[in-house]
Amino acid sequence: MVDKLNTTAVAEAMRRDFLLTLSTGFLYDCLDYAIRKFDGAEFRAKVLSDFSGSLCVDEIHLGHRVVLLASDPVSDNPIACALVSKNDAAHMLRFLRNLKNHGFSPETVISDRSPLYPKTIAEVWSDADHQLCVFHVISEVNDHVLDAVREVRRAIKPKRIKKGRGRPSRRQRARAKKLKEQRDQADRLFRRRHLIVTKNSNLTSQDKSTLTELLELSPELGVLRRFVVDLHELFAVRRSQDQAWKIWRRMRRNRSYLANEHLAKSLEVLRKENMVKLLSYLDHPVSVRSKVRTNNHVERCNRVLRYLEKVRYKWRRRRTIVRHILLQFQNWMKRKEIPAPTAG
């Protein structure tokens, strides 16, 4: 489990490194032995004692089953999981109630924009702040911005001219050359469109030069880029609530943003009802804001479990799925206990 190998790969590694021939049944017996050593009560007491007050919640679909997951982004701990048959409000409500019954009373619950969460979180922990994942919202807004970029590209890309018979005149050749340059520029915009929505701090000097050239193709691209810059300024980590709301009001009043159909859709995503939940992370100390502003912590757990599911054909029964998840939780906690190497 630590090396993330399936049973076939483990058997091959043992044969290669130690000249041992191990059967698949023996390896599964080893897994059964490991899971019997897992103390659920001790694990729960440990994560509860380390609980920071922030809780990430998400789900992962494994075939016809769904795993509900909760984790602590500040303490870097997995909290709990539940294997259910359907991803609906009833199962989510039961999962959150079980967490509450075991003593978890979070101050902040972080989730994506799934409609399952608002009512269930409010019903279980009425005093907790509901933080929407900033990463998911920025990704959704970027999709609208890229739709606008796609529209600009179609507008600046000229249609191909049907060639007439005979040798083209000098004027026709000059026009064909100009149209080819315009098509090349439009194609370049398509290939490098991601630069329009890239955060300034993530741009290299070459990217900045390319972006400047792209923005010269159309004034509308400049509007889109200014919107993206404002968006990242809005969700900066070192920002007060008052500063964030001031930027938000400025964006809502910007006529060039409102005049663009796709940016208007983006502003609808950033409506006040959502912004209250998106800016909840600003009430936390600066040192932990980057950890509680997104749902990335629990989604990293999801990606690990998804990887394990892909390389293990035995992940078809409830018992084996739960076994592997709990063993992964156990390994996660063990890795935290290993001290970091010091420079000699």
Residues 292-305 pLDDT 10s: 999 999 988 888 87
Both tokens assigned to 114:
């799934």
Residue 267 lies in a domain: yes
Residue 143 lies in a domain: yes
Residue 253 lies in a domain: yes
Same domain? For 152 and 268 the reply is yes
Residue 167 lies in a domain: no
Same domain? For 138 and 269 the reply is yes
Number of domains in the chain: 3
Residue 268 lies in a domain: yes
Q: What is the pLDDT of residues 164-198, one digit of tens each?
A: 666 666 676 666 667 777 788 888 899 999 999 99
Residue 302 lies in a domain: yes
What span, in angstroms and rounded, lies between the C-alpha atoms of 63 and 158?
A: 46
User: Tokens 């939940």 appear where?
Assistant: 277
Same domain? For 153 and 219 the reply is yes
**Residue 6 pLDDT exceeds 80:** no
Same domain? For 50 and 140 the reply is no
Q: Domain span at residue 270?
A: 134-160+179-284
Rg (CA), the chain: 26
Same domain? For 90 and 216 the reply is no
User: Tokens 């101050």 appear where?
Assistant: 107
**Least confident piece of the model among 208-212, 285-289, 334-338:** 334-338
Residue 47 lies in a domain: yes
Residue 323 lies in a domain: yes
Q: Is the pTM of this model over 0.75?
A: yes
Amino acid at 286: V
Q: What is the pLDDT of residues 98-126, one digit of tens each?
A: 999 999 999 999 999 999 899 999 999 99
User: Tokens 């994942």 appear where?
Assistant: 133
The model's confidence at residue 1, banded by pLDDT at 50, 70 and 90, is low
